[in-house]
Homo-oligomer: A and B are copies of this chain.
Amino acid sequence: MEAELIAELRRRIPPHPLVRLGPGDDAAVLRLAEVDDCAVTVDLLTDGVDFRLAEVGPRRAGRKALAANLSDLAAMAARPLAAVVAVALPRRDGLRLGVELFEGMLPLAEQFSVAIAGGDTNSWDGPLAVSITLLGAVTPRGPLRRGGARPGDRILVTGMLGGSILGHHLDFTPRVDEALLLAERYELHAGIDISDGLSVDLGHLVEESGCGAVLDLDAVPVTAAAEELARRLDDGSTALDHALDDGEDFELILAVPPAEARRIVAEHPLDVPISDVGEFVAEPGLWQTDRAGGRRKLIPRGWQHEFD
């Protein structure tokens, strides 16, 4: 029953200095006196689209839901503060499901000092749906936007790309610390996280920036999982295709002025790889180039929600 679930969650969710009033009232109350600009992001994850509950279990589903939100704040170079969590639980075994969903979130919340401030628990005859809203503090440098890339900026990406469906899409570490460190030490012009795929998300970034980009295919960092996936699928796709088009790497694409980009690559300030994979250009659109030379149109093939 709903009351039991709420009581259980109130026992398990730890206190947090920002939370003046936590779960159990009509709203949570957060102390935001130190926050001038507040970043707010929401992600709704559903069984069958973002995870297969029967395969991954509620803990990994819960972890992913929070991690995906954290990745959005990373893309803004904002510091995570607090989350509220709304769930629609299948009636069957809903209490256990709800508890385990939160158990999956709590370690990640602790790792990133995020308060679980409140939520809404529902049961229904549909599949699991979990919606997390995450609040973050924009740093004095301002939010890192999609729309700031300028022709001549280099395209940097964190980590390695492709094949996340083999496991990374559930277990990734959102690049929050990396984004905060880079935004503090270097001049960044724009950023986005890779949720729909490098090609699609780079497309979003250039569209908002009113420019184009040329991707150097030889420089794209390809995971072993992308190699593995290409082998397994045996459908003519290459590991590079997967690095370009697979969704849910949850790495960052950054637009960085050239001198600053050279400095980042040389100083290598992160624990994860950071690669220069091309250049923003004035001409709108996406282009690809490689050792063989020749600039060709790059067709984004990543993920989009489709309606009939």
Contacts and interface: CB of A to CB of B under 8 A. Distances in A.
Interface stretch (A43-51, A152-160, A216-224): A43-51
A298 interface: no
Given A125-B48, A307-B92, A120 B40 contact: no
Interface stretch (A83-91, A105-113, A238-246): A83-91
A2 B44 CA distance: 14
A139 to B, nearest CB: 11
**Band of interface residues on A:** 35 or more
A181 B307 CA distance: 45
B25 A133 contact: no
Contacts of A26: 41, 72-73, 75-76, 146, 191-193
Contacts of A35: 32
A127 interface: yes
B37 A307 contact: no
Given A2-B307, A88-B129, 9 more contacts: A1-B304, A1-B305, A25-B145, A29-B38, A29-B138, A31-B37, A38-B38, A41-B84, A48-B125
